[in-house]
């Protein structure tokens, strides 16, 4: 297998659904020579834009002239951008006229610096939204909004909506994340890359070595929740569900997440709740923990996602890709990645989670059956090849 950055579409032939790669290559032939520019404020910061690390080289390999431009701003601008992002996500912020002006000025400066002449310009998220104010008459412009802005702070959305409506279309990750606009709105689900470090196949020996390094024994079924140690991800609720299950089944619980943000106090609460129970592992993950998460998800018997509020949460798809049934809440994108009662269960309470975990542990054949169904569901709907198909369809549709 080639290193990640050198992967070609053909490398997905054995993984994607039958015939999917052939059809994508034919679409590439049809769109050969068209220019597609992505613009974002960062190359990192979540699966939303990080998937471009894989999509951009593949689109170029297909003959679509694709580039990925990054906007820049000063340190004080970054603070403005973060406040705007939080306000769009529904967290009340103080947004002044000066901040909005700064957003517009920075967009204008970036528009002068970047090469944005293309058949299709896709601007990702809110920070570079204002680039469209400088658009010329040629080419089509699309705003790709990754987070849930359905509950955006009214003041900020009133200011940004007229700018968003200067685009030819908007693309949201889920219908429930969208907000009314006067331009066409398309839905493109996020995806996972089956050949990434997080999802690649892993030998048992490598998996065992990773689990040893994380100090997680593999002597009993593992229940796993991957997610930040924040109240809205409800790690304490997961521990309570585990305790209900533990009365009936000898299991181990692993809670794995990144180091808490400054001011976060939930990790200490989680450690206290775990107490001296040797069967609860609270793992603060190192930076870029793709290999560790791959091993943990493969070692798990059941994946849990119990956030009270969530974005798309592609951890559901990554666990399903590894053949694991998922027990999740109905928050964010979780239920949209599952086929309820076929690849896993949706629950609303601690008791519900415990009941479904017990049900699965008491029926090991169900774990296998749901896991296999989940992997096939992800193969058809949530792989990067489907994402590529959606973006090519958008390019073909808007530039026809």
Partner 1 sequence: MSPTEPFVFLGCLELNELLPHEAHDARELLEQLAHVPVESVFCHTSASLLHRPVLAEAYPNDFALWVGTEVRDIRLAERLAGVDAFHAGSMERVREELIATISDHLQHLGGAPARTQGKRFRFYQTHLIAVPTGHQARTLAELRDALVEVDVSALFYHTIDARYRAGRGRGDFAEWVAAHLGLPEVADRLAHIDPYAGSLERIRDRHLSILSDAMEAA
Under the rule (CB under 8 A), what is the footprint of partner 1?
Answer: 17-20, 22-23, 25-27, 30, 172, 175, 178, 180, 184-187, 330, 339, 342, 377, 381, 389-390, 392-394, 396-397
Beta carbons within 8 Å of 45's beta carbon, 6+ residues apart: none
Beta carbons within 8 Å of 388's beta carbon, 6+ residues apart: 9, 24, 55, 58, 59
DSSP state at residue 192: B
* β strands within 239-321, DSSP E: 252-257, 280-284, 302-305
CB of 197 to partner 1, least distance (A): 28
Nearest to 305 by CA among 193, 191, 224, 221: 224
Classify 71 as helix, strand or coil.
Answer: coil
Q: Which is nearer to partner 1, 211 or 394 (CB)?
A: 394
Phi first, then psi: give them for residue 396, nearest 5 degrees: -65, -40
Within 10 angstroms of residue 288's Cβ, the number of other Cβ atoms is 11
Q: Which is nearer to partner 1, 166 or 185 (CB)?
A: 185
DSSP state at residue 243: H
Q: Which is nearer to partner 1, 145 or 256 (CB)?
A: 145
Q: Which is nearer to partner 1, 135 or 185 (CB)?
A: 185
Q: Which is nearer to partner 1, 18 or 112 (CB)?
A: 18
CA-CA distance, 32 to 34, in Å (whole number)? Answer: 6
Phi first, then psi: give them for residue 140, nearest 5 degrees: -110, 150
Spell out the alpha helix ranges (H) of 62-120.
Answer: 75-88, 97-113
Nearest to 66 by CA among 113, 119, 22: 119
CA 329 to chain centroid:
16
CB of 397 to partner 1, least distance (A): 5
CA-CA distance, 239 to 43, in Å (whole number)? Answer: 35
Q: Token pair 């169900």 is at which residue?
A: 366
Q: Which is nearer to partner 1, 172 or 242 (CB)?
A: 172
Q: Which is nearer to partner 1, 266 or 392 (CB)?
A: 392
CB of 174 to partner 1, least distance (A): 10
Q: Which is nearer to partner 1, 102 or 387 (CB)?
A: 387
Q: Which is nearer to partner 1, 185 or 246 (CB)?
A: 185
CA-CA distance, 242 to 357, in Å (whole number)? Answer: 9
Beta carbons within 8 Å of 284's beta carbon, 6+ residues apart: 229, 257, 258, 259, 267
Q: Which is nearer to partner 1, 101 or 342 (CB)?
A: 342
Given a contact cutoff of 8 angstroms between Cβ atoms, the answer to whether 119 and 178 are in contact is no
Roughly how many angstroms between the first and final C-alpha of the chain, as a whole number? 36
| Exposure on the CB side of residue 222, measured as CA atoms within 13 A | 21
CB of 366 to partner 1, least distance (A): 17
């Amino acid at each position: 297998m080639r290193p990640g950055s050198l992967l070609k579409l053909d490398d997905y032939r054995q993984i994607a659904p039958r015939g999917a790669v052939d059809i994508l290559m034919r679409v590439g032939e049809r769109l050969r020579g068209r220019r597609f520019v992505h613009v974002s404020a960062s190359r990192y910061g979540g699966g939303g834009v990080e998937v471009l690390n894989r999509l951009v080289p593949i689109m170029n390999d297909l003959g679509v002239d694709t580039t990925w431009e990054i906007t820049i701003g000063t340190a004080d601008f970054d603070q403005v951008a973060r406040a705007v992002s939080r306000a769009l996500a529904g967290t009340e912020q103080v947004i002044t006229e000066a901040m909005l002006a700064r957003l517009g000025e920075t967009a204008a400066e970036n528009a002068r610096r970047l090469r944005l002449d293309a058949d299709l310009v896709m601007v990702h998220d809110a920070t570079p939204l204002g680039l469209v104010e400088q658009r010329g008459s040629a080419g089509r412009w699309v705003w790709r909004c990754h987070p849930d802005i359905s509950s955006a702070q009214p003041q900020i959305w009133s200011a940004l909506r007229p700018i968003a409506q200067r685009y030819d279309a908007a693309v949201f990750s889920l219908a429930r994340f969208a907000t009314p606009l006067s331009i066409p709105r398309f839905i493109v689900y996020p995806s996972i890359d089956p050949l990434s470090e997080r999802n690649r196949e892993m030998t048992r020996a490598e998996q065992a070595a990773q689990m040893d390094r994380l100090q997680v024994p593999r002597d009993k079924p593992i229940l796993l929740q991957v997610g930040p140690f924040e109240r809205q991800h409800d790690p304490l609720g997961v521990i309570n569900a585990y305790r209900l299950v533990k009365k009936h089944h000898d299991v181990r619980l692993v809670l794995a997440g990144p180091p808490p943000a400054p001011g976060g106090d939930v990790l200490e609460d989680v450690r206290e709740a775990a107490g001296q129970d040797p069967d609860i592992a609270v793992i603060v993950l190192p930076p870029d923990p793709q290999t560790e998460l791959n091993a943990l998800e493969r070692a798990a018997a059941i994946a849990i996602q119990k956030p009270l509020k969530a974005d798309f949460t592609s951890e559901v798809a990554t666990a399903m890709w590894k053949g694991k049934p998922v027990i999740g809440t109905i928050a964010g994108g979780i239920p949209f990645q599952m086929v309820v009662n076929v690849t896993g269960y949706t629950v609303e309470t601690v008791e519900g989670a415990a009941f479904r975990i017990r049900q699965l542990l008491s029926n090991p054949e169900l774990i296998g059956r749901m896991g296999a169904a989940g992997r096939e569901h992800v193969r058809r709907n949530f792989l990067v090849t489907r994402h590529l198909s959606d973006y090519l369809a958008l390019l073909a549709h808007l530039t026809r």
